[in-house]
Amino acid sequence: MSANLQSATTATESTTKKLLEVSNLTLKFGALTTLDSIDFDVNESELFAIIGPNGAGKTSTFNCLSGVYKPQNGSIKLHGEELIGKKPDVIAGLGIARTFQNIELFENLSVLENLMLGKHLKISYNWIEAMLRMGRTRKQETIVRRQTEDIIDFLGLAAVRNTPVNFLPYGVKKRVELGRALAMDPALLLLDEPVAGMNSEETEDMARFILDIRNELNTSMIMVEHDMRLVMDLADRVMVIDFGKKIALGTPDSVQKDTAVISAYLGGATDEVIAEFAGGEV
């Protein structure tokens, strides 16, 4: 990651007003405890990261936040409103949008059409009005189209706006999925491994877009990511979970040097490897 990217991240300060509050979050599948009394909060305009070894419970946390899983215990509040027990579409309407590790796009639709689908919760006309193109239909579709074009420009997708998604390279598809989530005008954006499978150039581009989303759109984000360098460069705070338990939460610098975190990731590694990890070089 470039020095300019690091300095841009350091210069950005998150606000102290809490957007999301998670307390005592517990999720079990039979005798298996996937999440064990997890507590954390996310401030407005903050980029919060969740990391941990494979199977630690990162995706399960996202599934609880988005309403896919219903935890047995705990509380999840967005702007003070309890989310547990609400359906995923209701939670999306309240302001939580999500990208996926495995791309979930309509391959035969264009970039523009995929992004416009992200606006479906913002449309209030009924199917009769849509068929007859009457009433508020045209007005709302004009607004949606303009807002979608703004996202296309923001993410540098103008050259492929009318291209079917299945013809696009992998890195651009990931950007389209990010755009579809942004089309929902989220208060909180959940990024599930946004650079997984990308080369170094694509990773650098995605990192810049993530920074722009926070700095220009003031959108709060929670990022799950295995690319340690990306996390340490971008995140304001980092939570580490292992076997469903929170083992650390703090600034990237403090988390990198936490002995419990180093043990969870590296086990009995040599002193040289541990020192390299603590310096953010893995």
Please say if the pLDDT value at position 228 is more than 60: yes
Residue type for 94, please? L
Cα separations (Å) of 226 from 145, 231, 241, 274?
35, 8, 13, 17
Mean pLDDT of the chain: 84
* Fold (CATH) for 3-95+186-278: Rossmann fold (3.40.50)
pLDDT digits 0-9 by tens, 175-198: 999 999 999 889 999 999 999 889
What is residue 59's predicted lDDT score, i.e. its pLDDT? 92
- pLDDT band of residue 6 (cuts 50, 70, 90) is very low
Residue 116 is encoded by which pair of tokens? 């416009």
Residue 40 has pLDDT above 70, yes or no: yes
Asked which of 41-55, 116-130, 159-173, 235-249 is least confident by mean pLDDT, the reply is 116-130
Contact between 239 and 15 under an 8 Å Cβ cutoff? The reply is no
For 154, the token pair is 């923001």
3-state secondary structure the chain: CCHHHHHHHHHCCCCCCEEEEEEEEEEEECCEEEEEEEEEEEECCCEEEEECCCCCCHHHHHHHHCCCCCCCEEEEEECCEECCCCCHHHHHHHCEEECCCCCCCCCCCEHHHHHHHCCHHHCCCCHHHHHHCCCCHHHHHHHHHHHHHHHHHHCCCHHHCCCEHHHCCHHHHHHHHHHHHHCCCCCEEEEECCCCCCCHHHHHHHHHHHHHHHHHHCCEEEEECCCHHHHHHHCCEEEEEECCEEEEEECHHHHHCCHHHHHHHHCCCCHHHHHHHHCCCC
Q: Which of 166, 163, 167 is nearest to 113 (CA)?
A: 163
Of residues 139 and 246, the one with the higher pLDDT is 246
CA distance 24 to 36: 8
Placement of tokens 């405890």 in the chain: 33
Q: What is the pLDDT of residue 131?
A: 55
Higher pLDDT: 45 or 271? It is: 45
State yes or no: pLDDT of 144 exceeds 80. no
* Residues ≥6 apart with Cβ < 8 Å to 246: 38, 39, 40, 239, 240
**pLDDT confidence of 15, banded at 50, 70, 90?**
very low
Q: Tell whether the model's pLDDT for residue 122 goes beyond 70.
A: no
What is the pTM assigned to this prediction? 0.82
Q: Which of 117-121, 169-173, 207-211, 242-246 has the lowest mean pLDDT?
A: 117-121
Q: Where in the chain is the domain with CATH 3.40.50.300?
A: 3-95+186-278
Neighbours of 189 (CB within 10 A): 25
